[in-house]
Amino acid sequence: MNQFTTTEAAPTRQGSNLVGGRPGSRPVGGTGWNLWRAFIGLAYLAAAVFNAIYTLPRSDELDGYADGAWFGFLETFMDDVFMPNGEVFMSLVIIFEVVVGLLILARRSQVDVGVIASVVWVLAVLPFLAWPYLLTNIGLAVVQGVLLLRWYDRTLWELVRGGAGRGARAG
């Protein structure tokens, strides 16, 4: 078998459309794409650690978070629902960040699910953010979303163990 007939040695266009689409529509991510994916995935894991160590113990101090919210009911939500249950909400955020980070560092459609969840997340919190902070999240949605332009046939752990082999082509 040659590299185009095995599942391990992916041809240039091994990927699928998003989450289980037809094969062959996206190029396999090379070194640059995998480095960017590693950065995004590890950033989510780092955010989870930060939130667990710093934010969770101070979840009662987040009451000003929605001061610049687009809609008044969001400030009411923060005051009446989030603040009395801050530890629960922050725990859910931490769990979400860990899951998204691990999915992005995984392979194939798991990466797609993680990236889509990350983009939806940063866009979903936009109404809570004041100007100009919302621009940061729009930018995050774009820089995370570009990962969907490639297919990732190996996990980060496989790339590290295997060096710059088949799944870590340049590009």
131 neighbors 153 (Cβ within 8 angstroms) = no
Residue 121 CA to residue 80 CA, distance in Å, equals 22
Phi, psi of 168 (to 5 degrees): -120, 40
Give the helix/strand (H/E) hosting 32.
helix 31-50
Asked whether 28 and 10 are in contact (CB, 8 A), the reply is: yes
**Spatial separation of the C-alpha atoms in residues 139 and 122, rounded to whole Å:** 9
Q: Retrieve residue 64's tokens.
A: 């000003």
Two tokens at 120?
């939806």
DSSP 90: H
Domain boundaries, the chain: 31-157
Structure confidence by residue, pLDDT tens digits, 42-89: 999 999 999 999 999 988 887 777 777 888 888 888 888 888 898 999
Q: What is the pLDDT of residues 8-45, one digit of tens each?
A: 444 444 555 555 554 468 999 888 899 999 999 999 99
Model-level pTM? 0.78
Query: What CA–CA distance (Å, rounded) separates 111 from 103?
Result: 5
